[in-house]
Structure 1
Amino acid sequence: MNEYIQRIIDWIEENLKNEFSLEGLASYMGYSPYYCSFKFHQATGISIRRYILLRRLYLSTEDLANNRKIIDIAFDYSYSSQEAYSRAFKTVFGVSPREFQLNQMPVQSFAKLTINQGEGGFRMNIFRETEVEQLKNRKQELFDQDVLNILNGQVMYEEFKNKKLMGDSDYIPFNEAMCVNATTTSIFDHAFIQTRAAGHDESEENYRNKVIKPLSNLFEKNYNYIVLWFGEDMFCQMNLLTILAYLEQSQYNGKVFLNSFREDEFKVSQTELTLGSYYSVYKEVLVNHRKPTNELLPVMYQAIELFLEMQTENNRVIKYISKNKHLPTSELLKRLFEVFPTVGYGDSQYIELIDKTK
């Protein structure tokens, strides 16, 4: 069946710039349109039309980055008009194609799906030293002693610190999963620690040792620059939102840079951020589970949309688990990692959902 789904994906990819016809796909595959549509959704967690929409829009960001005319891009991807393309683009990314073209903002990647990749398919590649060296050539000042690098998780922190990838600057990890469990309006105070520890079913002492103590440099030192290393998936972006909200809460007045990357490769998109609205977004989204009222980077906008969907009882991950709950947990976990890279959950978050659904 995986080979069958991969054939569908390959056909779609070859015809991305043509007007889509489910009947044409069904004829190619030798099955009914309903069967093709049903099996694709069962295996990938999204509809064929949604997959095509996201792939076209994601690929179009490369054309925008290369300053192609927006109307030409729209017709290239089979939109009836520039307006139709712009509406679809803003719905997915939260900004217009023109805004994206002018500001070159990071977005969530939506790569071609490959069903049951080899084990190395979703690991970050080994060339991060090369990528960091290129960053150094562009921003030498971010490698000095008055710079703090905040890294998403202990594993990334240990590699960066041990290899001194950012030179003589300081390194700290943010060992949290802010995309699950309740949080508080104040960040990193006693109420926050109580609430987060209870959500993770940990003692306050263990939570302090795991999450708060490693952040001591953030609380105790002053830095001219803070560099945030967070992936583009929803898990990482909710952690990023929390750190940005804390910087505003603590009235940090230095410069802030986001180094955004995909988890399965290490191509860094560096953006200088302006503080000012992230604390209000944090309260709207993570505390109250509401849509933000401020404009955001596309990558965070997309992650928030996914985060809010994940708060619903019948979200796309729950649906996928329900349709595949006959599988052993180990196999289902493997598939969830492959099918939902933009979610970014770890084993514990997925196992909790599997246990609830099964």
Structure 2
Amino acid sequence: MSTSILHITNGDSTTNYLKKLHFSGDFITWREMLCEGQTITDVGSETFWKSRFNFFKTSYKVSKKKFIDYTLKEYRNLCNKKEASEIVLWFEHDLFCQINMLAVISWLKRYRKGYHISLVCSGKVQKSKDLLGLSQLNPEQINNHFKNRIVLNEDDIEYADYIWQLYCSESPLRLETVNQFNPMSPFKYLAAAIEAHLQRFPSIKNGLNNVENTILTTVQKNKLTSKDQLVNQLLRDQKNLGFGDLQYENKIDSLQNLFSSFNPVKLSKNGKQVLENQINFYGQLRNDISYLGGSKKYSFLYNDESKKLLQITS
């Protein structure tokens, strides 16, 4: 093996920041958002990438060329990087990053068995009330995170792979006790991310999930003059999702029947009644093509009181 380090980062902003700070080694940028759309366990397989392209094409109108240029070419670069003294993973605390992290570790378990793998994960930082992303850290903080990176042992890698298998399964029910499986694991933000994931199943109260209810609540609490303002407000307010503007725009579009106007932004009568749990919108939203991991989104309901999922049997 060579003496170089291979950095696998959560996005272009992190990659560019590390290069700007003159971190040595090779860089691979993991350009996916596996927290959305159907996922299967065999990361990197032909079936896996076909499924992911179908999702991006259907939900985000991504062309095959863009998918190949943006995601697949970088993945192929990763496949070709077979020699490194250490593989360093750079991921953040939020749902978006934690799910991607699990997938990468699952891939490494299969294709880079025995390699020295370590993790840099940002979130809690001294003297900051907010959880911070990697690009929000100053150079000293970034270097301290790197210096104190966590070496993942075989049990850690097995655990991450196990949670990935559960995330990709047809039922999310076993994920409810994820933080009890290995409370001493180095993945200290994973339990909160999985909790946020479970809350993305429709609420038993009104048929909207936590993200969708947050969108309606944000409209009610703020005087917003455009959809862009709404998206920006959602981005500022989010705590542990890590969503980008395209994701929020996609979700707003799926709820457009609950809006009477986007200039200014106002809820319709139905939108207000749904938000107040006077109307259950589950029937209008339900479909068989929406997935969260390996589970059909509308085959489960989230009980906000018990914080448990209920499986719908047909």
Match of 1:166 in 2: 23
Match of 2:114 in 1: 253
Which amino acid letter does the alignment assign opposite residue 155 of structure 1? Answer: S
Match of 2:52 in 1: 196
> Which structure 2 residues correspond to residues 196-275 of structure 1 after superposition, within 5 A?
196-201=52-57, 202-220=62-80, 221-261=82-122, 262-263=132-133, 265-266=136-137, 267-268=141-142, 269=145, 270-274=149-153, 275=157
Match of 2:181 in 1: 294
Match of 2:159 in 1: 277
Q: RMSD of aligned C-alpha atoms?
A: 2.2
8 Å CA contact 2:218, 2:230 repeated in 1: yes
* Aligned partner (choices 35, 45, 48) of residue 179 of structure 1: 35
SS at match of 1:218: helix
| Inter-partner Cα distance in structure 2 for 1:145 and 1:214 | 22
Which amino acid letter does the alignment assign opposite residue 234 of structure 2? Answer: L
User: Greater Rg, structure 1 or structure 2?
Assistant: 1
| Inter-partner Cα distance in structure 2 for 1:160 and 1:348 | 25
Gap change, CA 1:156 and 1:219, over 3 Å in 2: same
8 Å CA contact 1:150, 1:226 repeated in 2: yes
Gap change, CA 1:181 and 1:334, over 3 Å in 2: same
Match of 1:27 in 2: none
| Inter-partner Cα distance in structure 2 for 1:247 and 1:224 | 14
8 Å CA contact 1:227, 1:258 repeated in 2: yes
Percent identity of equivalent pairs:
23
Q: What is the CA-CA distance between 1:206 and the residue it aligns to?
A: 3.1
Is 1:349 aligned with 2:244? no
Gap change, CA 1:346 and 1:250, over 3 Å in 2: same
8 Å CA contact 2:7, 2:87 repeated in 1: yes
8 Å CA contact 1:322, 1:357 repeated in 2: no
Q: What is the CA-CA distance between 1:333 and the residue it aligns to?
A: 1.1
Structure 2, unpaired ranges of 5+: 123-131, 257-314
Q: Please give the per-residue CA displacement for 1:65-108, whole angstroms capped at 9, x wherever unaligned.
A: xxxxxxxxxxxxxxxxxxxxxxxxxxxxxxxxxxxxxxxxxxxx
Match of 2:196 in 1: 306
8 Å CA contact 1:230, 1:259 repeated in 2: yes
8 Å CA contact 2:218, 2:234 repeated in 1: no
Match of 1:152 in 2: 10
8 Å CA contact 1:225, 1:255 repeated in 2: yes
Q: What is the CA-CA distance between 1:207 and the residue it aligns to?
A: 2.0
TM-score w.r.t. the length of structure 1 is: 0.55
Which amino acid letter does the alignment assign opposite residue 8 of structure 2? Answer: I
Q: What is the CA-CA distance between 1:311 and the residue it aligns to?
A: 3.4
Gap change, CA 1:279 and 1:208, over 3 Å in 2: farther
8 Å CA contact 1:145, 1:170 repeated in 2: no
Match of 1:109 in 2: none
8 Å CA contact 1:193, 1:207 repeated in 2: no
Q: What is the CA-CA distance between 1:258 and the residue it aligns to?
A: 1.0
Which amino acid letter does the alignment assign opposite residue 253 of structure 2? Answer: D
> Which structure 2 residues correspond to residues 8-87 of structure 1 after superposition, within 5 A?
none
8 Å CA contact 2:3, 2:85 repeated in 1: no
> Which structure 2 residues correspond to residues 67-146 of structure 1 after superposition, within 5 A?
145-146=3-4
| Inter-partner Cα distance in structure 2 for 1:272 and 1:311 | 34
Higher strand share: 2
| Inter-partner Cα distance in structure 1 for 2:218 and 2:18 | 38
SS at match of 2:37: coil
Which amino acid letter does the alignment assign opposite residue 99 of structure 2? Answer: M
8 Å CA contact 1:228, 1:258 repeated in 2: yes
SS at match of 1:330: helix
Q: What is the CA-CA distance between 1:245 and the residue it aligns to?
A: 0.9
Structure 1, unpaired ranges of 5+: 1-143
Higher helix share: 1
| Inter-partner Cα distance in structure 1 for 2:54 and 2:32 | 13
> Which structure 2 residues correspond to residues 313-332 of structure 1 after superposition, within 5 A?
313-325=207-219, 327=224, 328-332=226-230
TM-score w.r.t. the length of structure 2 is: 0.62
